[in-house]
Amino acid sequence: MKIEDFYFEKYHGLGNDYILVNDIEWNIPEKKKGSLAKKLCEWHFSIGADGLIYVCEANSSIDADIEMRIFNIDGTEAEMCGNGIRCFSKYVYEHGIVSKEDMKIKTLKGIISSKLRLSEKNNGIVEQVKIDMGHPILECNKIPVVPEDNENQCINESIVAINKVFNFSAVSMGNPHCVIFVKKQLDDNNLNKYGSVLENHERFPNKINVEFVKVLSQEECSLRVFERGVGITNSCGTGSCASVVAGVILGKFKKNTPIRVHNDGGDLIITYSGERVFMEGPVEKSFTGSIEKLEF
């Protein structure tokens, strides 16, 4: 497929960066959406990003203002992305596609509510977004994860990766997460080594995102993530949410209390009521660009 004068925008949430494409205008064929993501997200040879997000019209029969679809760097489609949906919210508002400061976004996870916080200095510029991430999924068959002893949940269970035993908790925020609490945070070499093995572990039929979390207090932690289909990223919104959910269940964090999660790219504020999860964090536009002749 060839497109003349193809233009796009690049955004990031705490260094987790995404290419935004207005698919209402471009109408990329379904069978080409994944291959375009692989083409544009490739570092050094193209734009480079952690993923590609399509802005799509929501079906009029669905209670949503707009639809978001997100594809990883390897061309696979993801169910949801916390940092990505904040980027998406900023894009559609500032482009006038959705004029509401409180909007409903259709994702593969379902309808997600997004609340914008505008800059007081720059009128109309979105600087923070708060997302109602909904209910976490803990049932093994829905995550999915293969449990020990046919249990309904996988909380603080053991798993082996390269002869090292970890204790993990499985949580889905619309996409699956393996949350591991550590006493010492992993460096890049170990994050790559263990993350890549756990992502593809036989207990995770659809692969999994892996978070290593160091608790700093009952209201603060540091997180490093190996994302499914991507690798090490600077931050992960859904991973931060899953980590706080697991931490509350295990008594490491306070329920109904904002928890500051230090990602490599910056901080997110996550609150888990015991029922719903809320995520708040910054979002920035990096640049606008164009490709004279795009072939994919």
Tell whether pTM > 0.85: yes
Domain ranges of the chain: 2-135+282-295, 140-275
| CATH of the domain spanning 140-275, picked from 1.10.287.70, 3.40.50.2300, 3.10.310.10, 3.40.50.720 | 3.10.310.10
Thinking of the domain 2-135+282-295, which architecture would CATH place it in?
A: Roll (3.10)
Of 262, 244, 95, 113, nearest in space to 171 by CA: 244
Asked if pLDDT for residue 222 goes beyond 90, the answer is yes
**pLDDT tens column, 124-133:** 899 999 999 9
- Residues with a known catalytic role: 81, 236
The answer to whether the 2-135+282-295 and 140-275 domains have the same CATH topology is yes
Q: Enter the tokens of residue 176.
A: 């699956």
Backbone φ and ψ of 122, nearest 5°: -110, 100
**pLDDT tens column, 141-195:** 999 999 988 789 999 999 999 999 999 999 999 999 999 999 999 999 999 999 9
Q: Is the peptide bond before 205 cis (omega within 30 degrees of 0)?
A: no
Return the pLDDT at 122. 83
